[in-house]
Chains A and B, each alone.
Chain A
Amino acid sequence: MFIYDKKLQYPVRIKNTNPKLASIIISQYGGPDGELGASLRYLSQRYSMPYPELKALLTDIGTEELGHLEMVASIVHQLTRKLSDQQIQSSSFAPYFVDHTTGVYPTAASGFPWSAASMEVKGDVIADLTEDLAAEQKARVTYDNILRLSDDPDVNDVIRFLREREVVHFQRFGEALEKVRERLNRKNVYLTNPAFDK
């Protein structure tokens, strides 16, 4: 089960509101490479993972991603607190505002609501871990792009932290693949799917 810890993994302290920036950063909440998809991907893939150390890794990274989901939501919430009508009317935040006011809703910046179609659980150890490598890279690029679009140092400090976590997770998933190879037929790792074949 999960127990809630009443703290963020990393401090989020955004001094200035900025609805335009919120309308971009929401993508890491509910976009195709966002933290909601990340946590659900890993926490779902672990059921078809036969190896205990990698059940642990998927659980631990999936849990950390839930913490990142909360951090991204905190950025969006703080960027949109106490907005004036003028701030909303004159920004690209207006289309989001009309549907969600200043609530935090899992959607891509492009307006598409979060979709399970943006993630995969293949039920095959190598396919799933390879997907996880790609997912970490895509999330890292999204954070790169946010750094290109944002000049708020309070926001960028948190984005930089989240981006670095993607790099570390990529490393661990890469090591997980080596753990899998150690257990499989070294000549042909595709001979079986250890998640399914007995």
Chain B
Amino acid sequence: MSNDTQRKCPEANGTLPGCAPLAVPYVPFQQEGEKRYSKTEALAQGTLFPGLNLPFHLQVKGEPVPKTPLSELQALGFVLTELGLYLDTHPNDAEAFQLFQKYAALEKEGRIRYEEQCGPLQQTGAAMDDRYTWTGNPWPWNFSEEVK
């Protein structure tokens, strides 16, 4: 079932076995080729897939994620995380894997751009600089305006 590339159900619905053994839990399997958000929208929504976006009725709308080098990188990384989980259970979805490859390349470039501007993302990255920059502020949990 999970490897079946034929769409059987409407968008945002998943497939279930027609007949199934008793006394085990079932969650519909997400179909291949479901609609996807852009990377920025995916980060804002918390999922790449509109069909899985099931918000709570109480939503205080915050300001949109500001466009910064960091949020650009976060959006790229988020799509990779989300596609990675999807591919763990849908390893034969060739289109999703191609997208994973594309985003992995974009994220790699994005990391280089970010590190040039903002310092190393990993400790070993500091070796590329002319002095040891790993310890520099801001650390991720600090509100950026508090540590200038």
Contacts and interface: CB of A to CB of B under 8 A. Distances in A.
B21 A187 contact: yes
A11 B24 CA distance: 39
A167 B24 contact: no
Given A5-B122, A53-B89, A78 B143 contact: yes
Contacts of A14: 143
A167 B65 CA distance: 21
Interface in A138-190: 143-144, 147-148, 150-154, 156-157, 160-165, 167-179, 181-182, 186-190
Given A53-B89, A77-B141, A163-B46, A174 B74 contact: no
A83 interface: no
Interface of B: 1-2, 21, 23-30, 43, 45-47, 49, 52-56, 58-63, 65-66, 70-71, 73-74, 77-78, 81-82, 84-86, 88-91, 119-123, 134, 139-144, 146
A104 to B, nearest CB: 9
B73 A7 contact: yes
Nearest to B136: A6
Given A10-B74, A147-B59, A172-B85, A182 B2 contact: yes
Contacts of A8: 74, 140-141
A14 to B, nearest CB: 6
Given A13-B143, A160-B46, A177-B25, A53 B91 contact: yes
Given A10-B78, A164-B54, 9 more contacts: A8-B140, A70-B140, A81-B143, A163-B55, A164-B55, A165-B47, A168-B49, A175-B30, A177-B26
A181 B89 contact: no
A173 to B, nearest CB: 8
Contacts of B43: 10
A178 B24 CA distance: 10
A156 B63 CA distance: 11
Contacts of B26: 174, 177-178
Centre residue among A6, A163, A177 by max chain B CB count within 10 A = A6
Interface of A: 3-15, 53-54, 56-57, 60-61, 64, 70, 73-74, 77-78, 81, 126, 130, 133, 143-144, 147-148, 150-154, 156-157, 160-165, 167-179, 181-182, 186-190
B88 A9 contact: no
B122 A3 contact: yes
A166 B43 CA distance: 14
A123 B142 CA distance: 39
A170 B52 CA distance: 10
A188 B21 CA distance: 7
B89 A172 contact: yes
Given A57-B88, A164-B47, A188-B21, A12 B121 contact: no
Contacts of B85: 57, 60-61, 64, 168-169, 172
